[in-house]
Structure 1
Amino acid sequence: MAMLKQGQSQFEDKWPTMRPTVLKLLQQEPVTRAEWQDLFWAVHSVCLWDDKGPTKVYQALQQDILEFIKHAQTRVLHNQEDSALLKSYIAEWGKFFTQCDYLPKPFMQLETSLAGKAHSSTVQKKNQGEESIVRKLMLDSWNSSIFSNIKQRLQDSAMKLVHAERNGEAFDSQLVIGVRESYVNLSSDTEDKLKIYRDNFEKAYLEATEAFYKLKAPLYLQSNGVQNYMWYADSKLKEEETRAQRYLETGWGCTSVSALTECCVNVLVTAFKETILHECAGMIRSNETDKLRLMFSLMDRVPDGITQMLRDLEAHIVNQGLADMMAAAETITTDSEKYVEQLLELFNRFSALVKEAFNDDPRFLTSRDKAYKTVVNDTSVFKLEIPLKNKGKPALPIISRSTSAKDFQRVGAKIQPESKCPELLANYCDMLLRKTVLSKKLTSEEVEKKLKDVLLVLKYVQNKDVFMRYHKAHLTRRLILDTSADNEKEENMVEWLREVGMPADYVNKLARMFQDIKVSEDLNLEFKDAHRNNNEYIADSINIKILNAGAWARSSDRVSVSLPMELEDYIPQVEEFYRLKHSGRKLQWHHLMSNGIITFGNDIGKFDLEVTTFQMGVLFAWNQRPKDKVTYESLRLATELPDTELRKTLWSLVAFPKMKRQVLLCDPEAKSPKDFDDSSQFWPNQEFALIKNGKVQKRGKINLIGRLQLSTEKSKEEDNEGIMQLRILRVQEAIVKIMKMRKRITNAALQTELVEILKNMFLPSKKLIKEQIEWLIEHKYMRRDEDNINLFIYMA
């Protein structure tokens, strides 16, 4: 009992000596080392030797802190003017907050003692990371008394100063910063240290900002117009972001600045979104890149803000692009070089717009690509007709199993017209790669750049399979006729096509064509060496090309013709030579792909004519009777050429462009190949000659092959029908590939995957897809689910 009585007197004995030091600390008065140390010891004694001592110390401390704060509040409220009030508050708070670090130190034993008393109603258990009990007491006391009483005045005064700054008035910014810091440091909540700041200061700041610009922004827009308003809005957004960095909390994890930015965007931009965007289309048409760049920077802050800008850009590119193409239609439809240059000029112009106005933003680049693709694939300027007659012509089977001829898919009757762009691109490539006036005047680097330009446009071509077919036809002519301007460029072009994503099977066939030409060169040397002793004429005159049918041939290329005796004689020799080298391989002669040089003699002189095999067959009809007249019917019997090919060949000899004197004459005179009839008569022109500078030449050489070589009426039709046939096969192959992998798939998913597989070659129409699905169902490659007609099931 004696120990208990002694303990109960500890607080009463010690507190009178402790309190003066506590008050000095609160008032930031000097404290001697002895007083500081005595306070530590007194707290230690009370907490250890008095059971109720810790609670009494805590209550006495709380009372002195509240008393001190009450006096501080009186001193603050003594100031009526806003700036003076803020200065006084910041000064008082600064002193108090500094002591929040010092005063708790001597009371560490108090905290230890109180933390162990679970029954105390005034304190909670101290968790790791939680404020010290005395510091928390000080902050909570300040918050519950002076802060709660005057926080509205503090906020209002701070917001008035910020408002004054927005209106261009000067003031001490540290006043606002000081208030902000007191809000930030005031919270003793370890879970959310910024709660008091966020619920009060930040909220008031955002509301004041919104109210300010809700009043100012509409007036400025009304007085100055949209374009000036955009500069105003942009400058104010930057100004407010800078101001927010000063006056709002920017510590780690704090979102005050972003919240303020969002608030400003809402009131300055989003509120006038439609009005601002209304100007976009006109700015794009006028190429006002500075204003567009500003609009983009503003609208990119707004949800869906740039959606309308993307639509306006697409519409402009499509409309302007097609308008320019229409304006130049007369030129570009007949000149593939001008056509490609026009497309490239459009691409470069629109790309410059996207770069300067929208900083090459990926979303705007995507819109440019989408719109430019529309221009490239448009059919309003000119179109490629792919007329397909319903001849019942079967496609090849695509699946290795027993399939009868009646099982093959048949070609439809109509097809949507397509852009002629891929054909013209192929023509332009041919001009660059063939020995032409264009390729001769360009350096190797310039040719390469222009070919790369073609590949750039080709990227946007929807139906690349059309380009493939025409490019291969041109390449075939160049290789057969040996008219390539640069063999290295030819092979490079094949690799560039591979790099831009052309289908591997197509590119591999082109590569095989070059390989065949190189092999044929070696075979020629061997053939010449083998026959030089037996027949020197054949050895020197004949040049053979052994080509792989899979890479080169089309069914229509085999056209029958009665060859001159001089050619017939060496065919068995070539076949025997090849049989001895490659047993088991069969040669098929493609006279359409052959050509030669003959000497044409008349009363004027002798001329070397480069001719097709068909032209040679026709001209040899006069080899033994140079001045006779021969009827069309007789020529047909002598050459055994099909009617369409004979007409075209004769026309090339009686009406060759750019020649004043023709090789053959005819009676009656014809205006087109259709005018020939069985009784039309033809005979060699004894006055034929080459005319240079107005003078008749007695010797000379002329190429009569032109564009006739490797092209028949039937093959032209096949070019178009073959494109569609190949598409049918590709669609069938892709559907079966998907079905094998998926086993079960919905109609929508099948179409999506199908387009993804085929998009690098062509975009299959919904009608084409539907027809091939029905055909595959009919022939038991797949079936519909019994309960869901939109679900397909693979049939192994």
Structure 2
Amino acid sequence: MASVGTSSALLRGNGSSNFTDQWPKMQPIVVKLLKQQEITRQEWQDLFWDVHTVCSWDEKAPAKIQKALEEVILEFTREIQTSVSQHKEESALLKAYIKEWTKFFTQCQYLPLPFQSIEVENSANKANKKRQEGNKVQVLMLQTWNRSIFADVRSQLLSAAMSFLYKERSGEAYDAQLVIGVRESFVNLCTDTSNKLQIYLEYFEKSYLEATKEFYTSSSSQYLSENGVQNYMRYASDKISEEQRRATRYLETSKDSQSVKLVMTELDRILIKTHSDVILEECPKLISANEVEKLMVMYRLMDRIANGVDPMLKCLESHIVNTGLSDMKAHAEVITTDSEKYIEELLKLFKLFSELVKDAFGDDSRFLTSRDIAYKKVVNDVSVFKLELGTKGKVSGASKTHPESKCPELLANYCDLLLRKTPLSKKLTSEEIDEKLRSVLLVLKYVQNKDVFMRYHKTHLTRRLILETSADSEKEENMVEWLRDVGMPAEYVNKLARMFQDIKVSDDLNTEFKDKNKGSDTADLVNIKVLNAGAWSRSSERVPVSLPTELEDFIPEVEEFYRKKHNGRKLTWHHIMSNGSITFQNQVGKYELEVTTFQMAVLFAWNQRPEDKISFESLRLATELPDPELRRTLWSLVAFPKMKRQVLLAEPEVASFKEFCDLTMFYVNQEFGLVKQGKLQKRGKINLIGRLQLTTEKTKEEDNEGIVQLRILRTQEAIVKIMKMRKRLTNAALQTELVEILKNMFIPPKKMIKEQIEWLIENKYMKRDEDNLSTFIYLA
């Protein structure tokens, strides 16, 4: 078999190999291939051989073969052109064209194969042989189709395709493959390898864009006027989804094509941007009505255009601020006196606004930011209640401050309710308390002046630790760590942690002291707490008081014991922070009273004369208490809240402690007793301390003043720190960095920043640039 094949090959080689003799044999096979008629395997193989031998023997043969091919292909395409042009109806024209094009394009893959020899022979650069293979004949076929058929029917094809597109958009059914076939012919006809989509972009994409624009420009305006904004939003949303699918189906989607994106951009402009003002007018109404589904549609539409959701963000902010403040004002009577109700109301609002952002805007970060901005305004509002912080100007640069929100104080009060032994903390489980404490931290995140919260929280913690009223010591320490985790300033948190350490050290000290003084009745009854002055809330002044003899004699013993253990440390007694228990007995019964040291000093005035009446002036001399403290202490014994029978009675009766005068007489109520469920108890334990007074009226003012003074110092410190690092900085950049540093403590007002900058300039810490007064220079 091999020898026969070789013999056959030799016979062919010895025959005529010029173009003139061989082309008549090749042409019929080429025509059959073009017409997709059946050819034998021998004819297919002979065509390969004949092309090769002709090109091998005659160097001009490739050009001759190419020219002859062009004539055959041109004649073939003219026949097709005549056949296709006979169809005048759009659908018939498209079907005829696509049928012929599909067959022709298929042959574009097969007919070039036998003619690869002319590709190689015509390639001047042999290194480009591989790149040139299969190009010339295929290019010739496509170019011929383009000139003879496509150029003639191109306009008709586009018109018919866009007409079908219009029908589909109008709801009529038709064969989608016809438009797809037209698209493919526009894509595949281009022979420019550097821009394969040139013909498609120039004709098909352009026509598609124009048809889309024309259809929706008229239909969208008409739909809006006839059906209203809310129905139009749904219409626009549906059409965008529909056109996305349609564009993906009918347009070129290769990586080199941007057709789908261009169409959708144009559609967004027509359906959304053109009518954006009308659409956005509905936003406030939908937010107020909590129409989350319609808001989601609006959001998805507006998010498709540049800055489209910005007006929606402003609407959301306005709604949250207005709703939040209206709700606060509506419940003002309750929340101003009940910190629990206040926090619950704030949390209810936060949950409401968060659900709105989640359901209507999919928790988009921009809307979450707007929620936070608006909620912060609600939390820090001063229209319902406010905290006045003032200063007498003791610190350089101090000036009158603006009122602040009372929220941080109420948050601290609420924490105290949860952490102290109260009816609220007793009825909650450990998990519920943790949840509520974390809710406090959530609200605290939005509080601008966190230093106020820390001041009050520290005061409440002081009371709980001194009175030993913490519901759970572990939760107390957990709360300190949570404050650290949410970014509270380290110096504040470290002081709280130090307070727990002091209590533990004091417990050990007490144990040691009692062991040393075994047998002493007083030592067993007294519990001392030695507290670090820098960590604990304390009064800046010592309040004088005449203590009972038992306590007065006990103080030197404690001081001597402590001196021996810690030589050089100074003890300062703060009786305003101390308390104790005394036994009270009258004709009704015998009771154990928990009292402050001041209350104890007052009650001991009757220790030797229980039936006497004592004047206000005499009590002042006996206790040595300052007038304001004596008035408050007596009032707590004459009119203690929740007590049906008071320990002391005043004569004449007064409405407030301010009405006490030197001649007001006080005496022990011999009918004093504990009443439970309407029954008088003969024995029991009664707490008369209430909220342990840690400061005097004077030092309350000093505390508030201290907050402002500390802010001024912190602002000065931060400015110097920034300038020392930057050396040179503009006013705007300085303020930005300053707020970033101080935001976890407080937000410094612009007035304060300006004043502290001027103070630092006056004191030669920095100066203004002579050429640019808004730029500052650090002075080493």
Bin for the TM-score computed over the shorter chain: over 0.9
Q: Secondary structure at the match of 2:540?
A: helix
Distance in 2 of aligned mates of 1:617 and 1:145: 119
Change (3 A) 1:131 1:420: farther
Map of 2:233 onto structure 1: 230
Q: Which amino acid aligns with 1:460?
A: Y
Say which of 255, 258, 262 aligns to 1:255: 258
Does the alignment pair 1:96 with 2:72? no
The amino acid that maps onto 1:247 is Y
Give the 3-state SS of the residue equivalent to 1:624 in structure 2.
coil
Q: Which of 308, 328, 340 lines up with 2:343 in the alignment? A: 340
Match of 1:279 among 278, 282, 286: 282
* 1:445-476 CA distance string (max 9 Å, x none): 22111111111111111111111111110110
2:475 and 2:775 mapped to 1: Cα distance?
A: 49
The letter for the 2-side match of 1:236 is K
The corresponding residue for 2:94 is 86
Q: 2:677 & 2:185 partners in 1: Cα distance?
A: 100
Task: Say whether the 8 Å CA contact 1:528–1:540 is kept in structure 2.
Answer: yes
Q: Which residue of 1 aligns with 2:491?
A: 505
Q: Which stretch shows the higher mean deviation, 48-57 or 421-430?
A: 48-57
Counterpart for residue 742 of structure 1: 726
Q: Secondary structure at the match of 1:683?
A: strand
For 1:641 and 1:539, locate their aligned partners in 2 and report how far apart those are by CA, in whole Å. 26
Aligned to 1:27: 35
Q: Secondary structure at the match of 2:666?
A: strand
- Describe how 1:607-646 pairs up with structure 2 within 5 A: 607-646=591-630
C-alpha distance in 2 between matches for 1:173 and 1:325: 60
Give the secondary structure class of the aligned counterpart of 2:265. Answer: helix
Residue in 2 that maps onto 1:398: none
For residue 152 of structure 1, report the CA deviation from its aligned partner. 0.8
Counterpart of 2:122 in 1: which secondary structure?
helix
Q: Residue deviations 1:72-116, cap 9 Å, x none?
A: 111110111111111111111112111111121122121122221
Greater alpha carbon shift after TM alignment, 245-254 vs 109-118: 109-118
SS of 1:176's equivalent in the other structure is helix
- Alpha-carbon distance in 1 for matches of 2:86, 2:682: 122
Q: 1:133 and 2:120 equivalent?
A: no
Identity of aligned residues (%): 66
Give the conservation status (yes or no) of the 8 Å contact 1:559–1:592: yes
- Give the 3 Å change call, closer, same or farther, for CA 645–410 of structure 1 in structure 2: farther
Partner amino acid for 2:590?
A: K
Q: Describe the superposition over 1:729-777 as per-residue Cα deviations: whole angstroms up to 9, x where unpaired.
A: 2111211221121111111101000011111221100011111112222
Confirm or deny: 8 A CA contact 1:629 1:682 kept in the other structure.
yes
Deviations 1:603-652 (A, max 9, x none): 44433221111122222233333344433333333333222222211221
CA contact (8 A) 1:666 1:683 kept: yes
The one-letter amino acid paired with 2:90 is D
Amino acid at match of 1:231: R
> How far did residue 719 of structure 1 move?
2.6
**How far apart are residue 312 of structure 1 and its match?**
1.1
CA deviations on 1:631-682 (whole Å, 9 max, x unpaired) are 3333333333222222211221222223333323334443322223334333
Give the one of 161, 172, 196 matched to 1:169. 172
Q: How does 1:175-186 map to 2 (within 5 A)?
A: 175-186=178-189
Instruction: Please report how far the alpha carbon of residue 557 of structure 1 lies from its aligned counterpart in structure 2 after TM superposition.
Output: 5.5
Offset at 1:247? 1.5
Render the CA deviation track for 1:109-128: whole Å, top value 9, x for unaligned. 2112222189xxxxx98794
User: Which residue, 566, 576, 599 being the options, matches 2:583?
Assistant: 599
Q: How many residues align?
A: 767
Distance 2:80 2:217 in 1: 38
Matched letter for residue 748 of structure 2: P
Q: Deviations over 1:410-455 (max 9, x none)?
A: 532x211111111111111111111111111212122111111111
Give the counterpart of 1:385 among 385, 388, 391: 388
Q: What one-letter code is carried by the residue in structure 2 that aligns with 1:452?
A: R
Partner Cα distance (1:12, 1:717) in 2 = 118
Q: Once structures 1 and 2 are overlaid, which stretch shifts more, 462-471 or 49-58?
A: 49-58
CA pair 367-127 structure 1, distance change in 2 beyond 3 A: farther
User: Which structure 2 residues correspond to residues 705-744 of structure 1 after superposition, within 5 A?
Assistant: 705-744=689-728
Once residues 757 and 451 of structure 1 are traced to their aligned partners in structure 2, the CA distance between those partners, rounded to angstroms, is 26
State the shift of 1:56 in Å: 2.3
Cα distance in structure 1, aligned partners of 2:128 and 2:148: 24
Matched, 1:16 2:24: yes
2:79 to 33, 48, 71: 71
Of 422, 436, 455, which residue of structure 1 is paired with 2:422? Answer: 436
User: Which one is further off, 695-704 or 136-145?
Assistant: 695-704
Separation in 2 of the partners of 1:667 and 1:358?
A: 67
CA gap 1:147/1:234 in 2 versus in 1, 3 angstroms = same
Q: Deviations over 1:232-269 (max 9, x none)?
A: 22222222222222212223342222222222222222
Amino acid at match of 1:68: F
Pairing partner for 1:449 from 426, 435, 458: 435
1:406 is aligned to: none
Q: What residue number does 2:115 align with?
A: 107
State the shift of 1:507 in Å. 1.0
**What residue number does 1:3 align with?**
none
**Matches of 2:585 and 2:761 in 1, distance apart?**
66
Distance 1:524 1:480, change over 3 A: same
Out of 696-705 and 572-581, give the one that drifted further. 696-705
Deviations 1:292-323 (A, max 9, x none): 11111211112222111111111111111111
**Residue matched to 1:686:** 670
Q: Which residue of 1 aligns with 2:62?
A: 54
Within the alignment, does 1:246 sit opposite 2:249 as a pair? yes
Q: For residues 553 and 338 of structure 1, do their structure 2 counterparts lie closer, same or farther at Cα, with a shift above 3 Å needed?
A: closer
Report the TM-score when normalising by structure 2: 0.94
- Of 409, 420, 436, the residue aligned with 1:423 is 409
Amino acid at match of 1:559: V
Matched residue, 1:471: 457
Look up the match of 1:297: 300
Query: Could you tell me whether the CA contact under 8 Å between 1:131 and 1:190 is conserved in 2?
Result: no
1:755 aligns with 2:739: yes
Give the whole-Å Cα distance in 2 for the aligned partners of 1:18 and 1:691.
Answer: 125
Letter in 2 for 1:83: S
Change (3 A) 1:280 1:621: same
Please tell me the residue identity of whatever aligns with 2:211: A
2:470 is matched with which residue: 474, 479, 484? Answer: 484
Instruction: Please name the residue that 2:3 is paired with.
Output: none
Give the distance between the partners of 2:192 and 2:740, measured in 1 at CA. 56
Asked whether the 8 Å contact 2:587–2:671 carries over to 1, the reply is yes
Alignment of 1:559-598 (within 5 A): 559-598=543-582
Of residues 451, 459, 466 in structure 1, which corresponds to 2:445? 459
Q: Partner letter of residue 234 of structure 2?
A: W
- The separation in 2 between residues aligned to 1:604 and 1:174, in whole angstroms, is 104
Gaps of 5+ in 2: 1-13
Bigger Cα displacement from structure 2, 651-660 vs 220-229: 651-660
Deviation, structure 1 residue 167 = 2.0
C-alpha displacement of 1:9 = 9.1
- 1:672 aligned residue: 656
Q: Contact (CA 8 Å) 2:87, 2:93: kept in 1 or not?
A: yes
Q: Which amino acid aligns with 1:260?
A: V
Residue aligning to 2:5: none
SS at the partner of 1:252? coil
- The structure 1 residue matched to 2:504, chosen from 487, 507, 518, is 518
Alpha-carbon deviation of 1:16?
2.7
Larger mean CA deviation between 472-481 and 133-142 belongs to 133-142
8 Å CA contact 1:131–1:188 kept in 2: the answer is no
8 A Cα contact 1:429 1:451, kept in partner: yes
Q: Distance in 1 between matches of 2:353 and 2:532?
A: 45
State the distance in 2 between where 1:769 and 1:641 align: 42
- Residues 271 and 445 from structure 1, CA distance in 2 versus in 1: closer, same or farther, beyond 3 angstroms? same
Report the 3-state secondary structure (helix = DSSP H, G, I; strand = E; otherwise coil) of the residue aligned with 2:582.
Answer: strand
Residues of 2 paired with 1:644 and 1:780: CA distance?
44
Q: 2:614, 2:235 → 1: CA distance?
A: 89
* Alpha-carbon separation, structure 2, partners of 1:238 and 1:490: 55
Task: Report Cα offsets for 1:312-353 as digits up to 9, x if no partner.
Answer: 111111111111111111111111111111111111111111
Secondary structure, counterpart of 1:734 in structure 2: helix
1:371-408 deviation per Cα after TM superposition (whole angstroms, max 9, x unaligned): 11111111111111113234xx24xxxxxxxxxxxxxx
* Structure-2 separation of matches of 1:78 and 1:562: 123
Aligned counterparts of 2:237 and 2:682: Cα–Cα separation in 1: 81
